[in-house]
């Protein structure tokens, strides 16, 4: 009986420790400055794509710009949430404009990447990007399903 209680206690301890480590990892990245985040992302891309020094300098400016835009949007949403302001329901035209702007940014980013990277590197980048996009879609669908179940 004591062994069963000990095993159950150990299982709970391991589970809670693992969950705490996952949450901590996400929070730590948000605490980094834009330059630090850009540097880390650039190093990961350099390892994955074998970037040259000139490519690294060109990519760093792109990445820094992208991260700063993302951080500004995050701060805007955070301030809105803290003030208790509810998100308004967008009209069809507003939604279209927002989606169009987002896609224009993606097209511009892709063309800039194509200019910086050679064909082999760009193919690797596209493959990795498609894989990440699939992961994010699955994650968001899972999150949405959880919210729908909570509403019922």
Domain boundaries, the chain: 1-31, 34-80+101-119
pLDDT digit of tens for each residue in the chain (152 aa)? 777 766 766 666 666 666 655 554 555 666 889 999 999 999 999 999 999 999 999 999 999 999 999 999 888 888 888 887 777 788 999 999 999 999 999 999 999 999 999 999 999 888 888 888 788 888 888 877 776 666 55
pTM (two decimals): 0.65
Half-sphere exposure of 148 (CA within 13 A, CB side): 6
Half-sphere exposure of 70 (CA within 13 A, CB side): 12
Q: Measuring CA to CA, which residue among 106, 103, 100, 34 is closest to residue 63?
A: 34
32 and 70 Cβ atoms separated by less than 8 Å: no
Place of tokens 């955070």: 78
pLDDT value of residue 16: 65
DSSP letters, the chain, are: -HHHHHHHHHHHHHHHHHHHHHHHHHHHHHHS-HHHHHHHHHHHHHHHHT--HHHHHHHHHHHHHHHHHHHHHHHHHHHHHHHTPPPPPPPHHHHHHHHHHHHHHHHHHHHHHHHHS-HHHHHHHHHHHHHHHHHHHHHHHHHHHHHHHHH-
How many CB atoms are closer than 10 A to CB 114? Answer: 14
């Amino acid at each position: 009986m004591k062994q069963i209680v000990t095993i159950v206690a150990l299982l709970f301890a391991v589970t809670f420790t693992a969950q705490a480590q996952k949450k901590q990892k996400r929070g730590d990245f948000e605490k980094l400055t834009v330059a630090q985040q850009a540097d880390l992302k650039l190093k990961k891309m350099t390892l994955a794509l074998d970037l040259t020094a000139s490519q690294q300098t060109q990519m760093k400016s792109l990445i820094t710009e992208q991260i700063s835009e993302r951080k500004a949007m995050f701060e805007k949403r955070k301030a809105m949430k803290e003030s208790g302001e509810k998100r308004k329901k967008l009209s069809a035209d507003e939604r279209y404009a927002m989606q169009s702007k987002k896609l224009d940014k993606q097209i511009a980013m892709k063309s800039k990447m194509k200019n910086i990277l050679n064909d082999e590197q760009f193919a690797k980048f596209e493959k990795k990007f498609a894989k990440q996009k699939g992961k994010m879609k699955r994650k968001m669908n899972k999150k949405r399903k959880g919210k729908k179940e909570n509403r019922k």
